[in-house]
Structure 1
């Protein structure tokens, strides 16, 4: 049996009533977090610019986007919501898969999903199914998509988008197999955005959402796709990854037993998730009562994949030129955490603080494999003090990871803080209740 057949069998047989309650609750929490991050991005230039582009393309502007009172064609509206959900790098991550799927799946399900189905249970099931498939593609790749220069969320994300859309559109098993096969030809997204902090990364999210919907509609109309998309001569792991490093058993291991939404980490800091363990280390140094003048240098120990995102080229990371670039700068983020004790969306308003830049230049890195990565995004460092003493910090599990999670109250506080960038506190609190009762809804408008 081909792997696509096994995955299709799982999707078509997925019964909402048999999904554990804690899985449904966690799915709602991930949706709420994605919604909040999108609402906080109301004034981001990429959100404003892409909205303008879609306004000129929309022929039937019937669906209001989340962060302002404008309507677009429903798929375009979902794409804007997806871009907004990822624009601030404050959305969740499946750390082992190195995947930001909620930014794709929450807008797909809540915006497009309720336009084709008035069943909140089906929408919630679609979100869960999407995460199950997308995460497994990412896990199976073992980080090798990134090693090849591709964005895992862009490659794995379309398979999650397809799985969710197959649930929403009630595809049969044969059609789902075709949809998964076709998805491989619509996967795309390279990491060159790292060179200048450009907008292509957020477009990867929107592209995965849109292409997943298109592919699923093609399959519903009985367009065929390759059965062997996961194991054939030109399968996705050979095309986008390093096939010898991949483990394709991860694609179906533990289906209906290990639920991927339970393995997703929420971000306490609005930055690249790879840096979070090191941010935790910097906060710990601050909590020790150390001052900047007490520290001569800091040597960080970083896994191979994160280096390309948050460390290289290190000289450019010391004084990032934009808020977006700052979110991918390990030394700058650590300096923020050390001086301010926290990182918020307002932390990036002044990138020219001399204290931060001077401290950031004390920070260097060494490539070193950690036992926890990529299940965890740990932090390990050695700080040399002015008196010659060496202090070590080891954060094996970053705050917000599913094994060191944010409480629901912490998540709710993050949501309300984000959502009130676009809504009143009363409206934001109403949204919490709405998402918490999603299975009872027949639409999702606010």
Structure 2
């Protein structure tokens, strides 16, 4: 399989060896921080899907939609179970970017399933993958962060392929503090019930998934919704209000150092800044893909608004995607105050996007690269995935660009 090649999504004439196709497509998935996320806190799909679609194009036998879906679910399931072995991992992370830790394991498990590896080979695939896990959280809000997803997809796929040809690792890797436990200070693994017993249940059935409506860190969605609501109150009180008359803005958010950026200079810093996202919402009455362009970030009006922001972290506002809230208070030079709070943003697992909005999100973003046939073909295949007999058609649609 080393000579096999797979598609680079959105490029009509470029193919790469499987591992590098998984790497490039994984980076693309997370390039705008616009991919799905969940609780426990990780980005599960970007680490798994690029590896599986690379394999689908290379396997000599047909891969059905059900085959792909099962392997994908295995990859998501493994990530969820591993994150439940640590309370530290379960909420907003402290040291490691979660997809770099559990994503590579999910990619390895999914790839092993699609390759049809034996149980012993699967164990070794996970052990091999564990030696490629981990990336420091300090690289969040930089251009390197999307590389974490790409590496997870690539290294997991490689681990499964290496196990397939006989490479072995420590079969107890998931049970040891000096094994997978090195990534979490409170690592406490538990045994999974045997699949034949009545005690087995897919945690995927109860998994919480969020689909973002803006291309930014998940925490930004709370502050954007609160800022838009506060702006609405202000404009309702005075339709002719000039935002230059805002004297002060107070953000009450959970403590989290890597998403508290008072003066973002790059798009990646902006995607991880409570201050930037709140001020963009106040200034423009929306936050979109274009909000993170260099021209928008460098606007004098935005910088002026940023200079008036104070961040507070109330004791009752815990850094937990289940419990956190964001509150925005806008004070005017006339002494008036307008406050709004968001406990659950639109797109949160407790308040999910409608199917129409989900499809519209894909259509808007994909159409910037793919032609209409590619966009609509992809939507159709995914919508009917359980009845698809040959999944390699996805690669064909994902190569249908405007260049053709």
Task: Judge which range, 413-422 or 113-122, deviates more.
Answer: 113-122
Deviates more, 1:326-335 or 1:112-121: 112-121
More deviation, 199-208/123-132: 199-208
The equivalent position to 1:429 in structure 2, one of 376, 381, 387, is 376
Contact 1:300–1:364 (CA under 8 A) maintained in structure 2 = yes
Matches within 5 A, 1:59-70: 60=3, 62-69=5-12, 70=14
| Corresponding residue to 2:180 among 215, 225, 236 | 236
Decide whether the 8 Å contact of 1:310 with 1:329 is kept in 2: yes
Larger Rg: 2
Change (3 A) 1:123 1:357: same
Instruction: Tell me the CA shift for residue 301 of structure 1.
Output: 2.8
The alignment status of 1:299 with 2:243, answered yes or no, reads no
Tell me, yes or no, if structure 1 residue 99 matches structure 2 residue 42.
yes
Change (3 A) 1:390 1:143: farther
Instruction: Give me the CA root mean square deviation.
Output: 2.7
Quick check: 1:177 aligned with 2:123? yes
For residue 392 of structure 1, report the CA deviation from its aligned partner. Answer: 3.8
The answer to whether the 8 A contact 2:19-2:158 is kept is no
Matched pairs, number: 375
Output one character per residue of 1:200-247: Cα deviation in whole Å (capped at 9) or x when no partner.
21221111111111212232334333333233241323x12222xx45
Question: Does residue 313 of structure 2 align to residue 370 of structure 1?
Answer: no
1:122 corresponding residue in structure 2 = 67
Aligned to 2:304: 358
SS of residue in 2 equivalent to 1:259:
helix
Match of 2:400 in 1: none
Give CA-to-partner distance per residue, 1:42-72, whole Å, 9 cap, x none. Answer: xxxxxxxxxxxxxxxxx95742311112121
Distance in 2 (CA, whole Å) between partners of 1:132 and 1:397 is 25
Larger helix share, 1 or 2: 1
Deviation string 1:86-112 (CA, Å, 9 cap, x unpaired) is: 111111111x22211211212122232
The structure-2 alpha-carbon separation of the partners of 1:357 and 1:127, relative to structure 1 and needing over 3 Å to count, comes to same
Go from structure 1 to structure 2 and tell me whether the alpha carbon gap of 1:333 and 1:378 turns closer, same or farther (over 3 Å shift). Answer: same
Using the alignment, how far apart are the partners of 1:376 and 1:89 within structure 2? 22
Shift of the alpha carbon at 1:187?
0.6
Is 2:345 the partner of 1:398? yes
- Show structure 2 runs of 5+ residues with no match: 236-240, 398-404
The CA distance in 2 between the partners of 1:110 and 1:188, in whole Å, is: 23
> Normalising to structure 1: TM-score of the pair?
0.76
**Judging changes above 3 Å, is the alpha-carbon distance between structure 1 residues 247 and 334 closer, same or farther for their aligned structure 2 residues?**
farther
Determine helix, strand or coil for the equivalent of 2:153: helix
Unaligned ranges ≥5, structure 1: 1-58
1:88–1:271 Cα contact (<8 Å) kept: yes
* C-alpha distance 273-98 of structure 1, shift in aligned 2 (>3 A): same
